Amino acid sequence: MPQPNPADAERVALAEAWIAQDPDPETRAELAALVEAARTGDPEASADLADRFDTRLAFGTAGLRGEIAAGPNRMNRVLVSQAAAGLAGYLLEHAEPGATPSVVVGYDGRKNSAVFARDSAAIMAGAGVRAVLLPQMLPTPVLAFAVRHLGTSAGVMVTASHNPPNDNGYKVYLGGGDQGSQIVAPADAEIAAHILRVAESTTVPQLPRGDFETAPEAVIDEYVRQTALVADTPSAQPRVVYTAMHGVGWETTARVLAVAGFDAPAVVDDQISPDPAFPTVAFPNPEEPGAMDLSFARARQSGAELVIANDPDADRLAVAIPDADSTEGYRRLTGNEVGLLLGWRAARRTAAGAARGFHGALACSIVSSPGLEAVARAYDLDFQATLTGFKWISRAPDLVFGFEEALGYLVNPETVRDKDGISAAVAFLSLAAELKAAGKTVADHLDEFIERFGCHASAQISLRVTDLSRIGEIMARLRAEPPAVVDGIRVQRIEDLADGFGTLPPSDVLRIVLDGGGRVMVRPSGTEPKLKVYIDAVGTDGSVAERRAAASDAVARIEAGMRELIGD
């Protein structure tokens, strides 16, 4: 019979203390069962207990995100209560003398999102912060909008975006001088320190709770009104299919499209309503293989010219267009393709206002397509490449448009300082309507982009690991033994961003610059156990077909070489 592990004694004591303060009967019960199994010497239970209690779910610039379960290394009501109290402490510490700080809290349709949000609002109110809860489950962009619209000191969105079904998360925004952007250093470390002090000194039942306000529906109405202004009055009506991917995007999107003057799209009925189980997809992420299969089936049925998909919290947008060469009949555009077309649209519109003295900037993350810089140069706009994440993109000076290749787009920075899959959908639909009125398709417009700016092809390798140390080992090896060639293409230089680079803050990223305009970015994922490799190449000579072939061939060679280098 297995014998108890002596090292478990301290963990069992920690777990019992956790159970005593946990207000959630589900997580209390599953942790009690785990403790009992560990006491009997079950090695799996012992390992699980160690994973939950030997470390803590880190609070960083992405907030919190993890699996819903008991323990400090999981998402649960204890951890969220500590986070709320810690954030309240931070806001009170940074408030002007005599002023009462404020926070608006939103939540999506995931498991426990509503209860995490109510806990947060009540605990922050009990700490002396004016707390406002959004009136219903809503998309993340509505919360980001509400921070600015209500003029609060901060915002909290309870969501895990497109993570697996049993995950949840906690995103923090700051108002005031941060203009409703997500937190960056040093605020993240300061908030984390406050959270840790709460966890070490106070139990959840000891945290005072107060009365919070409920935001009026007028907040949603104003988001709808301002987002609809992103579109021009449609001069044609493309046939569209929409899916919410079992998330909260549809109700708000439908209202925005109607106000903007677009016909109601056909919808994917099985995915249109919020469902925390996400029953029709393996991962609720439009980028994942198979996630848009139902959308394509609905599009074939309705003869759609455009497929629009939001992720579950509607801060991301996926677009697909008809493609006779695809077995599905449709092809999902890459995040870079959508970003470049929306960036071109923004540049044209900004240039039209330049005569009135307005000048703007385009921005994208360093792992997104360099093609956006070519667009900015062509229209005499500023360009800024930022670290990955809209917490950085949204802070670009004079921003008129920003994007990252992971399906994130910021098309209306005066309204929302974060990626917004709803306003991006409206902008792209407006572009499609303009093209249709001119007798063109989105595919035609992609060719026009290549004619004007060259073919900027891209690819990505996502190496998912079970042992996170493998990612560190690969990054260390690439630094210690930098490659001289990638599949025979000479490496011009390798730029290590670990200590910062130019205006960029330090980040665990390697940029490999190749002959012929190729580029590789290597970095660990910030939200998943993955090593991510981003590959870009450009074709600028010959016809559209020749440019596309040259760029595609270069990307394929670089991808093969990088897979060999990282051992994928």
Q: Catalytic residue positions?
A: 161
Residue pair 90/174 in contact (Cβ under 8 Å)? The answer is no
**Residue carrying the six token digits 């939540």:** 107
Residue pair 498/507 in contact (Cβ under 8 Å)? The answer is yes
Residue 209 CB burial class (10 angstroms; 0-12, 13-18, ≥19): middle
Three-state secondary-structure class, residue 60: strand
Q: CA 166, CA 329: separation in Å to the nearest integer?
A: 33
- Let me know the angle formed at the C-alpha of 402 by 396 and 405, rounded to the nearest 5 degrees: 125
Nearest to 230 by CA among 443, 446, 441, 433: 433
Beta carbons within 8 Å of 70's beta carbon, 6+ residues apart: 15, 18, 19, 22, 27, 28, 30, 31, 34, 52, 76, 78
Residue pair 559/410 in contact (Cβ under 8 Å)? The answer is no
H or E segment at 218? helix 218-228
Residue pair 78/19 in contact (Cβ under 8 Å)? The answer is no
Q: CA 461, CA 440: separation in Å to the nearest integer?
A: 33
Q: CA 555, CA 256: separation in Å to the nearest integer?
A: 38
Q: CA 564, CA 532: separation in Å to the nearest integer?
A: 14
Residue pair 376/400 in contact (Cβ under 8 Å)? The answer is no
**Residue carrying the six token digits 């940029």:** 511
